[in-house]
Structure 1
Amino acid sequence: MKKFVQIVDNTAYWIFEAEELPPYPNAEDFLEITGREEIKEGFLYNSETGEFTAPVIAKAPPFESQPTVEEIQAQILLNVEYLVSRSELGLGGK
């Protein structure tokens, strides 16, 4: 059994085994990769060098945790105390 890969947009799209490549309309979109077990669907194909490389998956940005209810309440309390003290000093609310 031979192993083939279909290349779509420079990407290994479909990998399958067959005795011979079936008569597909675009046979140039298929390559024989028998013995190259490292190639997986999704690998990028460089048509100039004939090499496959694993896709680079970008890391998700770090998750920024949200403040807890207690932290929000503490911030509100501080803001209220600040505004009350400005008012008592006659500095106004602005």
Structure 2
Amino acid sequence: MKKFAQIINSKIHWIFEADGKPEFAPDIVIIDITDKPEVQEGWGYNNETGEFTAPVIPEPTPIETPPTVEEMQAQTLLNTEYLVSRSELLGGM
């Protein structure tokens, strides 16, 4: 049994096994990948060189941890004290 890959837009769309290369419409690209067991769906394919490339998966963006309840309470207290002091300063003029 041989292993084949269907190529769409320079990417492996589908990998399947068959006894021989099936005949599809002329615009459907089928490549024999029997000797390339590492190749997987989603990999890129260069039609000019016949080379396959694994997709580059970007590093995930770190998610900032939300503040704790205590941190939010402390920030609220600071904001309140700031506003009270501003009010006292402006009220004294």
TM-score (norm: length of structure 1): 0.85
Aligned length: 91
Unaligned runs of 5+ in 2: none
Q: Equivalent residues in 2 for 1:19-58 (5 A)?
A: 19-26=19-26, 29-58=29-58
4+ runs deviating over 3 angstroms: none
Unaligned runs of 5+ in 1: none
**Aligned-partner residue type, residue 81 of structure 2:** E
Instruction: Say which is worse superposed, 18-27 or 56-65, in terms of deviation.
Output: 18-27
CA distance in 2, matches of 1:40, 1:74: 52
**Aligned-partner residue type, residue 57 of structure 1:** I
For the aligned residue pairs, the C-alpha RMSD in angstroms reads: 1.6
**Aligned-partner residue type, residue 55 of structure 1:** P
Q: Equivalent residues in 2 for 1:1-94 (5 A)?
A: 1-26=1-26, 29-89=29-89, 91-92=90-91
